[in-house]
Structure 1
Amino acid sequence: IELGPGEQIVVDGEILEESNLEVDESLLTGEADPIAKDAGDHVMSGSFVVAGSGAYRATKVGREAYAAKLAEEASKFTLVKSELRSGINK
């Protein structure tokens, strides 16, 4: 899968080739700075290319992808009902 600036990485994979490739993983990891990626490095679905270009091979798709697992874990949590929350919702 080819990558260019502004594109979202749609499945987890391994970088095959790159030219000054930098990826924003902040939505997944909280890391504020772009991460430089080299051939052989892994990329995660849900991250974005902020600079450079490259190509990668998909290694995990669907429910096996990092973003899907993160969403599944988040869905296990529910909001606690408290008196304050009930009062706000009235």
Structure 2
Amino acid sequence: MPPYKAIEGEIVFSEEVKTIISQPLCEDLERIPALSRRERDIALLLSQGKSTQEIADDLFLSFLTVQTHRRNILQKYKMKNVAELIAFLLKNNMLN
């Protein structure tokens, strides 16, 4: 005969409850970070083949500011280069 865990002070759940509580919550799932408005602008221009200097000129930003945004976007998505980043963003409908 199985031991009476509840009588021994342990918390006991039915198999159905164990199944439900073992499933991750939506908040627990890894989410794709969102782009800020400025990051989205820069990513969109990168997807059009613009250089860092061209983006800086178009958005009235310094070269270093655009370069910093580019680096931050790559780090945010753990991408090695702009081509990989653009493919990822397009695949996830983040440049619409």
Instruction: Tell me: higher relative CO, structure 1 or 2? Use CA pairs within 8 A at least 6 residues apart.
Output: 1
What is the TM-score of this pair, normalised by structure 1? 0.26
What is the TM-score of this pair, normalised by structure 2? 0.25
The structure whose residues are more often strand, as a share, is 1
Larger Rg: 2
The structure whose residues are more often helix, as a share, is 2
